Amino acid sequence: MQTTIFAFCGKGGVGKTSLSAAFIRLLSEQYPQKRILAVDADPAVGLSTALGIEPPMTLDDIRLRIAQSIDKGETADAVALLSEAKFHLLDCITERGNLSFLAIGRPEAAGCYCKVNAYLKQVLEMIAGNYDFVVIDGEAGIEQINRRVMETVDCLVLVSDPSQKGIRVISTIRDVASRLAAAKHCGVIFNRTRDGFDPDGIEGLPPVLAVIGDDPEQAAHDMQGESVFSLSASSPLYGGAKKALDALLREINDEAV
């Protein structure tokens, strides 16, 4: 199966989760026959609420369970361990129609976070091929790029607000990604911009896919804990996500011809 993996990266609070959720909704509605995997890779958690899907178990729960069974000397060898991990993996993938959902969870102890990232990378390598589209809602900052979690990503969607800090974060992510030769396609979504914001004046950025202003409907939705599926099609966030997704899909299709 030809799999296309999208990942959303950027500073905290810029709209990664809202936009990942909108991409996931758009893909699942535009391609009812295709399989889509949504991955919440942010320990701050949020994609589950945005999609209205509550997973019974997370990747970190599995990692912990396996680590505990090793500590107790219950697991015989590496082969048994691997098949146990694969078996448990199914427990944390929740399916809803053509949509599957997987979350890394919220590792509490120090040091666990990079372990769960390493685990996520392996899990993605193992299961991404079962889906047509994978959408990863990434952690804030650059760690997951640094740790090569995003190595298999096809489309890196860099999200920023108009702040210098937001723009610096996406520039750094872009630099690291190009050094690692990760992600063939890369674009920027500016979100929560004010009137008069002009991205043309900002140098050295990948192509700008969409510029989204303030969206009171999205903000109200989030306050009330409603899912992306009830956001109206006239919402600026939804419209901006559609424009960005269409541009990326066009680029991918052009390349395939």
Q: State yes or no: residue 17 binds Mg ion (CB under 5 A).
A: yes
Residue from the set 5, 6, 9, 16 that interacts with ligand ADP by CB under 6 A? 16
Structure tokens belonging to residue 96? 């809803």
**Per-residue string for binding with ligand ADP, 194-233, x by CB under 6 A?**
------------------x-xx--xx--x-----------
192 binds, among Mg ion, ligand ADP, none (CB under 5 to 8 A by kind): ligand ADP
- Write the CB contacts of 25 (distance below 8 Å, at least 6 apart in sequence): 51, 228, 229, 231, 238
The residue among 41 and 62 lying less far from ligand ADP, judged by its C-beta, is 41
Q: Judged by CB under 6 A, does residue 46 bind ligand ADP?
A: yes
The least distance separating Mg ion from the CB of residue 7, rounded to whole angstroms, comes to 13
The SS3 of residue 225 is: coil
Reduced DSSP (H G I as helix, E B as strand, rest coil) percent helix, strand, coil of the chain, to 5: 45, 20, 35
d(CA 30, CA 51): 16
- Residues 169 to 188: which contact ligand ADP by CB under 6 A? none
Four-residue CA torsion sign, 229, 232, 234, 236: negative
* Least spacing, CB of residue 129 vs Mg ion, in Å: 26
Which residues within the stretch 25-84 sit at the binding site for Mg ion (CB under 5 A)?
Answer: 42, 46
Q: Are 208 and 187 in contact (CB under 8 A)?
A: yes
Q: How far lies 13's CA from each of 9, 95, 198, in Å?
A: 11, 27, 21
Looking at residue 51, what DSSP letter applies?
Answer: H
* 249: nearest Cα among 171, 199, 187, 177: 187
The only residue of 25, 35, 174, 192 in contact with ligand ADP, by rule CB under 6 A: 192
Q: Residue from 6, 7, 9, 17 that binds ligand ADP (CB under 6 A)?
A: 17
Binding site for Mg ion (CB under 5 A): 16-17, 42, 46
Which residues would be at the binding site for ligand ADP (CB under 6 A)?
Answer: 12-18, 46, 191-192, 212, 214-215, 218-219, 222, 237
